[in-house]
């Protein structure tokens, strides 16, 4: 059986990563925007080819900036989804614990379960844990003619 759980303590160690990552992407986008704005005609010159190169460089900076801004949104959305998933999983675990508690209480009130659990020496102990006999106690494995024997 696989172990399915969410370790909130481990998530607490990384909870801020999405926010910090998004902040870093915003810082990069803002820096790229500054580079684009710095490409002024007075520095580049007024010739048609030079001006076209300047504008192309600015456009590439703007495209890069927009990409970083888009990634910022994706990272924030991912962080939000992780938090929502953790909360949903926590609620599910609490709900399952309630179901198990209700089932345990119902079983404890069932006369058949109570009778099975109070058998002489083979039933439930004082802790409520079922006692299971070993194969050597439940059948004689030394007799090859005994039912259930694995010897030939």
Region 70-97 average pLDDT: 92
Closest by Cα among 69, 63, 88 to 4: 88
Residues 6+ apart with CB under 8 A from 49: none
- Interval 90-99 mean pLDDT: 92
Asked if residue 5 belongs to a domain, the reply is no
pLDDT above 60: residue 1: no
pLDDT confidence tier of residue 115, bands split at 50, 70 and 90: confident
* Number of independent structural domains in the chain: 1
Residue 36's Cβ-count burial label (10 Å; 0-12, 13-18, 19+) is middle
Provide the domain limits for residue 104. Answer: 15-114
User: Does a structural domain hold residue 77?
Assistant: yes
pLDDT in tens, 130-146: 444 444 444 444 545 44
In a domain, 38, yes or no: yes
Q: Evaluate whether residue 89 is within a structural domain.
A: yes
- What's the rounded Cα separation, in Å, for the pair 134 and 12? 45
**pLDDT recorded at residue 120:** 45
């Amino acid at each position: 059986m696989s172990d399915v759980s969410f370790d909130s303590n481990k998530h607490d160690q990384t909870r801020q990563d999405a926010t910090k990552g998004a902040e870093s992407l915003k810082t990069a986008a803002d820096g790229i925007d500054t580079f684009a704005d710095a490409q002024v005609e007075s520095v580049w010159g007024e010739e048609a080819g030079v001006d076209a190169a300047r504008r192309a460089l600015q456009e590439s900076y703007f495209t890069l900036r927009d990409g970083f801004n888009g990634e910022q949104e994706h990272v924030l959305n991912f962080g939000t989804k992780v938090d929502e998933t953790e909360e949903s999983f926590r609620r599910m675990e609490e709900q399952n614990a309630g179901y198990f508690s209700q089932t345990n209480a119902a079983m404890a009130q069932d006369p058949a379960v109570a009778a099975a659990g109070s058998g002489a020496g083979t039933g439930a102990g004082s802790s409520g844990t079922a006692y299971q006999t070993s194969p050597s106690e439940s059948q004689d494995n030394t007799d090859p003619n005994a039912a259930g024997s694995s010897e030939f």
